[in-house]
Chains A and B, each alone.
Chain A
Amino acid sequence: MKGLLIVGCRAVVARDLLIALRHRSDVLTTFFFFVIVVSLFPLGVGPEPDTLREIAPGVVWVAALLAAMLSLARMFGTDYADGTLEQLVLTPQPLVVLVMAKVAAHWLTTGLPLVLIAPVLGLQFDLPAGSLATLLLSLLIGTPVLSLIGAVGAALTLGVRGGAALTALLVLPLYVPVLIFGAGAVVATATGTGSAGHLSLLGAMLMISLVFAPWATAVALRISME
């Protein structure tokens, strides 16, 4: 039974990664959206290093939220349209665990690339090495939370007309705590107060959403299938 579950999860992740590989444009859209939005700010605000350093954490984090938002419709949308979601619901494995596998695949294709490119983008804002490291770490802890919470919104709005806009309205308010503590961690490093507190809170959010979000997503998926 346990072996079956692992095989099932591995199949979900492998399939989604393979599709992302075949359909690279989807992944690249999110990635370049993030890169371009972040890069626009130095151009718009002007080359004043002090201002740039100050706005950098907020800009990078807001761009990460929007990029995550942009990719949510894909998480279950295509599966819903082609009937594979039906098959996912009708498997002998618990749906909660399969949902976790789907979220993991989503994070690997959309969250992780943002985390990896963020320090490079931070250089445009003249962030010092310490802040860059905190930015990387806060995104590493925070972006999985975005995928987890986003999954609930994406599942709830499946098959609804204008679902993408509705998902944004549902999910963006829930992203606020992640934004505050994610950006706050970088600011705290810059001002020298230490980022441990902020990062711990981000970690706590990750734990809580790991427990509750897949369960809520599974329930929402079943309702959307009806």
Chain B
Amino acid sequence: MLEVSQIECVRGSRRLFSDLSFRLEAHQALRVRGENGSGKTSLLRIVAGLSPAESGSVSWNNGHIRALGEDYVRNLLFLGHSNGLKDDLSAVENLRYALALAGVGADEPALRAALVQQGLSAIADLPVKLLSHGQKRRVALARLSFSAQKPLWILDEPFIALDTASVETLARTITTQLQRGGMVMFTTHQEVALPGTAMRTLELGAH
């Protein structure tokens, strides 16, 4: 269970949000919504433990995430604003190294299967720098196929640059994760439906 209590975020001299609290439990999704610059990415980075909050705390199963350290990170899948892909490496290579670092074992056929599922089989061996925006995003999203055992997914604008079919695939992946007992926290500007799941919306900049 993820519990965020009374966090405040200040960037420069601007207070983006304060006194923000919410809980996220198994099977729940939280969609963070707000204008550009309202602090969505900052909130996600705070929850992931990448940056500290000005005040307040983020806890995972009643332990402070700073104190838990790697024991928290083990439960977490974070997909940031940038895709985390190396331009000179192919999609398969990028996926292989990302998974090795995340501590997930996957063999070559499994890697290729995940890319096929993203509709990327034809370009799996091309350097990522030759791919389009949406294709790069899908290479990054292929990590989701291997993250079933990670209970908390934090996705920053996962739907951006995706075509309609990919948006549906991703929505299905998220739904499956929720049904499995996972938690998903994500930001998006577009309307997405996750039928049959408990999705709440958090408005930033509204209070």
Contact = CB atoms under 8 A, between A and B. Distances in A.
B93 interface: yes
A89 B81 CA distance: 15
A86 B84 contact: yes
Contact of A93 (B50, B89, B97, B101): B101
Contact of A90 (B76, B87, B96, B97): B76
Given A8-B100, A18-B93, A83-B83, A90 B73 contact: yes
A15 B82 CA distance: 18
B86 A15 contact: yes
B78 A15 contact: no
Contact of B101 (A23, A87, A226): A87
Place the interface of chain A in its size category.
20 to 34
B89 A22 contact: yes
B100 A90 contact: no
Contact of B70 (A18, A23, A82, A94): A94
Contacts of B101: 8, 11-12, 87-88, 91, 93, 98
Given A83-B82, A83-B84, A91 B102 contact: yes
B89 A86 contact: no
Contacts of A23: 88
A86 B50 contact: yes
A26 to B, nearest CB: 10
B80 interface: yes
A59 to B, nearest CB: 34
Contacts of A84: 84-86
Given A92-B102, A226-B50, A22 B85 contact: no
Given A19-B88, A22-B88, A82-B84, A226 B100 contact: no
A75 to B, nearest CB: 14
A8 B74 CA distance: 13
B70 A11 contact: no
B20 interface: no
A225 B100 CA distance: 22
Contacts of B105: 7
A132 B99 CA distance: 44
Interface in A58-95: 78, 81-84, 86-94
Nearest to B69: A94
Given A83-B85, A93-B70, 4 more contacts: A8-B100, A8-B101, A12-B97, A92-B74
Interface of B: 48-52, 70, 73-74, 76, 78, 80-89, 93, 96-98, 100-103, 105, 127
13 contacts: A4-B103, A11-B96, A11-B97, A11-B100, A12-B101, A15-B86, A22-B89, A82-B86, A83-B82, A84-B86, A90-B48, A92-B102, A93-B101
